[in-house]
């Protein structure tokens, strides 16, 4: 598998085993992009109400998209060892899937920096999914957030990655 790192190579630990932020100062800034996905599953009645715009808190999908964008920009403040990055592009798409029933959330994050944006994309879909739950919990408490994962990443020393189909 292309994403396995040797046991003796943990970049977030110093020689004493203490957590540290990785020093990326010697790296060259390159264009990097990451795409992540999450699914939000719900009852057909909840899905129908959201699609019809009948959720008690207002526009569920627009609020979830905006929350995802804002979350990507705040990743370094949420995840202790992440580097603050200048993000040049963030898109969050919330796509209806009647067969779930529910929604699939895709986030694409792009930068020109010394380190990648995988965590920003994953944070975007996670917070967008949580926001969708929050906006719709008045309709249903059993909404499920699932399958959060990295779909792809490009750029950087470790090369490109695409999740298996």
Active site residues: 134
- Beta-ladder partners of 13: 19
Q: Is the dihedral of CA 25, 27, 32, 37 positive or negative?
A: negative
Q: How many CB atoms lie within 10 A of CB 125?
A: 32
Structural contact between residues 113 and 29, judged by C-beta atoms closer than 8 angstroms: yes
Structural contact between residues 44 and 140, judged by C-beta atoms closer than 8 angstroms: no
């Amino acid at each position: 598998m292309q994403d396995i790192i040797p046991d003796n190579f943990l970049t977030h630990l110093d020689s004493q085993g203490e957590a540290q932020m990785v020093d990326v100062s010697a790296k060259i800034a390159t264009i990097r992009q990451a795409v992540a996905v999450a699914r939000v599953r719900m009852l057909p009645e909840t899905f129908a109400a959201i699609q019809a715009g009948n959720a008690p808190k207002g526009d569920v999908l627009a609020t979830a998209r905006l929350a995802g964008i804002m979350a990507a920009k705040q990743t370094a403040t949420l995840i202790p060892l992440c580097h603050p990055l200048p993000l040049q592009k963030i898109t969050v798409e919330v796509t209806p899937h009647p067969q779930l029933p529910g929604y699939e959330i895709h986030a694409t994050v792009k930068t020109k920096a010394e380190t990648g944006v995988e965590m920003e994309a994953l944070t975007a879909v996670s917070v967008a999914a949580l926001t969708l739950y929050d906006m719709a919990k008045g309709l249903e408490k059993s909404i499920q957030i699932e399958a959060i994962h990295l779909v792809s990443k490009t750029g950087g020393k470790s090369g490109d990655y695409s999740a298996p189909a």
